[in-house]
Amino acid sequence: MPLAACVQLNGSSDVARNLSVTETLVRRAAAAGATLIATPEATTYLGPHHRKAQLAEALDGPTHQRFARLAGELGVTLVVGSVAERCPDTADGPPTQSWNTTVVFGPDGGFIASYRKLHLFDVDLRSAGGVQFQESKRTARGDAPVVADTPAGRLGLSICFDLRFPEFYRHLVDEGATILCVPSAFTVRTGMDHWHVLLRARAIETQCWVLAPAQWGPHDDAGLRHSYGHSLIVDPWGTVVAECGEGEGICLAEIDSARVDTIRAGIPMASNRRL
């Protein structure tokens, strides 16, 4: 059975540090035997939002190629939770928005798939003691769900706020997903009440494995965000089988594809669905 790992980071505006810590933790996961490794949302940059478009690269840019080389060197499937992907230049000059994009590289270092975040984090939680945030101001919306074939199984891609839309995951399962990846930077306020509940619910209703690598701790964006952490791996029954504690690190679990088949046979959701 393949061993999967979720990487937990405390991202910042220091891109060099983010990349160095990510590489160290990916290498640690690979040394422990992981062949499917996923990093959080905003792996390369988590700082003042207005700088994202300035730092964004094309998918074949130097930062992304660094991850491709790392995957190839270690012989792992590497899911880079999200990066800032450059949007095309406009008639008025360089873009002011970027895509929030997951990128997947295979064990040979080759590009497997990318997914641009569909559901953008536009919320006002100040009345509940949380933040006001408009991701759509600086982030362009993606246009399609993505499911990719990997050595570990059919992988359904998503990012953070997508987690709140169960119909999105239903579509990924209809496209054959047996593993769902939810790289995130959940806020502390929402994470305390919703993170575990939503991830376990998505696993139960889709009967998939769920990998949820997360950002943790305060970030240097003028106090705007403090991430909840608690990176998780959840089995298709909804049981949390691995979880990160405080700080940066990894969690690991074996991904048993036969468990998906057994649970789906016992509770045949597809054949019982009426709407």
Q: Which residues have a catalytic role annotated?
A: 41, 117, 160
The token duo for 143 is 């246009």
Q: How far apart are CA 275 and CA 255, in angstroms?
A: 30
Q: How far apart are CA 80 and CA 11, in angstroms?
A: 13
Q: How far apart are CA 210 and CA 236, in angstroms?
A: 8
Beta bridge partners of 243: 232
Q: How far, rounded to the nearest angstrom, does the alpha carbon of residue 52 sit from its chain's CA centroid?
A: 18
Residue 191 is given by DSSP the state I
Integer angstrom CA distances of residue 138 from 37, 55, 59 = 28, 12, 18
Q: Is 98 left (phi over 0), alpha (psi -120 to 50) or beta?
A: beta
Instruction: Provide CB contacts within 8 A for 174, sequence distance 6+.
Output: none
